[in-house]
Amino acid sequence: PKCIWLSRHGESIYNLEQKIGGDSDLSERGFQYAKKLKGIVKENAGNVELSVWTSTLKRTRQTAQHLPYKKKLQWKALDELDAGVCDGMTYEEIEEIYPDDFKARDDDKYEYRYRGGESYRDVVIRLEPVIMELEGQENVLIITHQAVLRCIYAYFMNVPQEESPWMSIPLHTLIKLEPRAYGTKVTRIKANI
């Protein structure tokens, strides 16, 4: 592909409450990012027609809502890492209610699988069809979630997948990836909101 554009969804209500998972709406700031994203993409991608891929969750679809492109696709495979029984909890609550799990995750964040949920390794595996499809595309903008973006980012940056849980993917930042023969060029464009 020529160019891959990546963004997390805008700040969500759950982000504000420091809860993981769920399917909450964007916060006020998150909606501001969604509004601003249109201009930021235009400014940096010019007039190329992008395909916009989101997850099936509200916060990514709301982030994409003002983008003026016809090709929009929702992928279940782009949904956030499933935290199973911990879905909707804060990290503090997880540490209190499932202390052994909290420690196990800290010890091996890549392999740790939430009870009734997923590990980073699981996410990497379910992303395979997305990556395959991406390889054959020209210009795609992917709006998804932190854990999922870490795995996609590690793939294109040629970083071992075991390191994906530690990749930094800040909110309200558009990432431009240009895969080249010798490696992928990265540009990070921060939205000021």
Is residue 80 part of the contact set for ligand G3H (CB under 6 A)? yes
Closer Cβ to ligand G3H, 42 or 109, answer by number = 109
113 assigned to a ligand binding site: no
Closer Cβ to ligand G3H, 145 or 172, answer by number = 145
163 assigned to a ligand binding site: no
Per CB under 6 A, which of residues 159..188 are in contact with ligand G3H? 165
The window from 44-52, 139-147, 175-183, 185-193 that contacts ligand G3H (CB under 6 A) reads 139-147
158 assigned to a ligand binding site: no
Q: With helix as H, strand as E and coil as C, how does the chain read?
A: CCEEEEEECCCEHHHHHCECCCCCCECHHHHHHHHHHHHHHHHHHCCCCCEEEECCCHHHHHHHCCCCCCCEEECHHHCCCCCHHHCCCEHHHHHHHCHHHHHHHHHCCCCCCCCCCCCHHHHHHHCHHHHHHHHCCCEEEEEECHHHHHHHHHHHCCCCHHHHHHCCCCCCEEEEEEEECCEEEEEEEECCC
Binding site for ligand G3H (CB under 6 A): 20-21, 80-81, 83, 145-147, 165
Which residues belong to the active site?
A: 8-9, 15, 59, 80, 145
